[in-house]
Structure 1
Amino acid sequence: MNPAHLAFAALGLIWGTNFLFMKWASVYLSASQIVFLRVLFGFLPLLACALLTGALKWRHLRHGHHFMVMALLATVIYYYAFAKGSSLLASGVAGMLSGAIPLVSFVCAWILLRQERPTTRMLVGIVGGFVGVLLIAQPWRASDAGVDPVGVAYMLAGSLSVGCSFVYARRFLSNLDMSPLALSTWQIGFALVVIACITDFHGITRVIDDRRASIGLLFGLGLCGTGLAYLLYYFIVGRLGALAASSVTYIPPVVALLMGTMVAGEPLHPVDVVAMATILGGVYLLQRRGPATPEGPVAKPTAPPQTIVDASAN
């Protein structure tokens, strides 16, 4: 079997379990504490790999202002919003909402970059995807015991932040003479400094009392969900191309829904399945609407890997 296909499956599984791990950790930790530990333990394997390969250069720091913007948009705000949203929602619901990230990224790119006029198929994909989000959020049930609208708002805010980071990366970082590993290491390193400065560490060790939550946070979210995920993504891009790698975004919502139902015992409603299918259908229409353009900018992704869409999206 092609190792890239195994990496593809592993990456989808890793990202799909992140929402359950965040839900478990949120019982003991604040959102900023979850983000700090996730970034810390995700940064360590990236830094080790970057140092071993000689990817980091001191001259890269002249782009420090870009690293800071990406650290805020694509790591700190994005991770924080998703941690807050996951604490207020069922893990399966949070995971399904994450399926809208490519849709939000496309809308941000279309509004801010204006590189391509949307076709009818693209518009159908966007509308269909956001109809799926509405089916999950169910704002008409806000007064009932439905989905928490604040949690949905956090998830959408995180999607918006990372969508803007994708546009920023395309505009300012795609042509830098720097490897994807170096870009990601600097980004996560800057993010670690920022989140360390704003986190209240009081009570951060409480998560140790729950072995399931602590292992999920440090190993699942940190080492695997952040550090290993970057490395797997770049491996897939190198073997299969950015267009194929971007389709990994179809897997996490499905995995999150199954994990929430089978592991956490969360209820599964028919509307959830319909909503997830609608969101993924919208992403499919955007990604498969026509011939792909060269992959140059996408071969150097700096936003979190799960947010990168193929080059033809802009």
Structure 2
Amino acid sequence: MAVDATNPAVAITPRTGAWATPLEICLLGAIWGASFLFMRVAAPEFGPAALVELRLALGAIVLAPFLWSHRGAFPLRLWPKLALIGAINSAVPFLLFAWGAERAPAGVGAICNAMTVLFTALVGATFFGERIGMGRALTLATGFAGVVVLASGRIQGAEIGLAVAAGSTAALLYGIGIHLVRRHLTGLPPTAVAPATLACGAILLLPFGMAQWPAHGPSMHAWLSVALLGVVCTGLAYVMYYRLIARIGPARTSTVTYLVPLFGVAWAWWLLGEAPTARMAIAGALILGSVAMSQRMR
């Protein structure tokens, strides 16, 4: 998952007990980690395009009240930008992760998702003139080494290189999308930006989702996974995310990045029997270690 955590236009929430914050961060990590499990279950039956179309539409519907309450802040001239960001920051990354979920264990996509932080720094340095320094450059190299380790292995007898490439490309698009949001949507309420971009992504992807709609009815397990993916992992999770930003700020909220791959691997192991391999552990350690060091250097 990737949204802009630096936008200051977030409504202030009431004070909450100190115990609630770490609990909500863990819960959010568990929800976003479970999204890779749900994609793994639903993608083979729905196909990537139909699955992501439903995910985007359900997420937009859940968050629609926030967009409606701030509708005056979204003039018509803004919607082309929202459509572009919706494609880069939602529709295409979701599609890539769903495509990878058909070909690799759920934990692989969850590990690749952690690269978003590193790609955000790389995109900022490459295209927006942000300085990263030698230390952060080394952390980036370490994280990318983790991707190479992950992509070069076989899991359950299958090559996963293409799935890792898809997940890494999705993380790159998240990194680009975050910079676009910062530069073009700053000042808008994030809880309204989220449904606007999700809705645009759903509209853009609709022809592909209809063209690739499954010929045979998916199972109840697949439908339940789609519903949870759209309503909980995409809709409600965004609400939790912005509540945390309002309460504790973007820096502390970003610690959820470290929990998503851990929960993603754990859910897949527990519910799908996809045991993590030594190569996944090494790659995850390299990527998460580089993310942690990069965050400390900011």
TM surpasses 0.5 = yes
For residue 263 of structure 1, give the secondary structure of its aligned residue in structure 2: helix
Measured at CA, do residues 280 and 204 of structure 1 come closer, stay the same or move farther in structure 2, by a change above 3 Å? farther
- Aligned equivalent of 1:91, options 65, 87, 106: 106
- Aligned equivalent of 1:100, options 97, 103, 115: 115
Q: Deviations over 1:31-57 (max 9, x none)?
A: 000101101111111002433xx2222
Correspondence for 1:307: none
Q: Distance in 2 between matches of 1:97 and 1:203?
A: 27
Q: Distance in 1 between matches of 2:240 and 2:77?
A: 28
- Aligned equivalent of 2:190, options 171, 180, 186: 180
Offset at 1:126? 0.5
Correspondence for 2:79: 64
Q: Distance in 2 between matches of 1:203 and 1:272?
A: 32
8 Å contact 2:60–2:196 — kept in the other structure? no
- Aligned equivalent of 2:162, options 150, 155, 169: 150
Offset at 1:58? 6.7
Correspondence for 2:207: 197
| Structure 1 residue identity aligned to 2:181 | A
Q: Distance in 2 between matches of 1:154 and 1:105?
A: 17
Q: Distance in 2 between matches of 1:286 and 1:169?
A: 21
| Structure 1 residue identity aligned to 2:200 | F
8 Å contact 1:104–1:163 — kept in the other structure? yes
Structure 2 gaps of 5+ residues are 1-16
Correspondence for 2:282: 274
How big is the alpha-carbon RMSD for the aligned residues of Structure 1 and Structure 2? 2.0
| Structure 1 residue identity aligned to 2:101 | S
8 Å contact 1:104–1:160 — kept in the other structure? yes
Offset at 1:13? 0.5
Offset at 1:205? 6.9
Question: What's the TM-score, normalizing by structure 2?
Answer: 0.88
Correspondence for 2:40: 23
Q: How does 1:122-141 map to 2 (within 5 A)?
A: 122-138=136-152
Question: What's the TM-score, normalizing by structure 1?
Answer: 0.83
Q: How does 1:1-314 map to 2 (within 5 A)?
A: 1-2=17-18, 3-51=20-68, 54-57=69-72, 59-116=74-131, 118-138=132-152, 145-174=157-186, 177-199=187-209, 200=211, 202-203=213-214, 206-207=217-218, 209=219, 211-219=220-228, 221-289=229-297, 312=298
Offset at 1:197? 2.7
Q: Distance in 2 between matches of 1:226 and 1:253?
A: 17
| Structure 2 residue identity aligned to 1:77 | V
Q: Which runs of 4+ in 1 moved over 6 A?
A: none
Offset at 1:147? 3.2
Q: Deviations over 1:271-297 (max 9, x none)?
A: 3212111111100111111xxxxxxxx
| Identical amino acids, percent of aligned pairs | 24
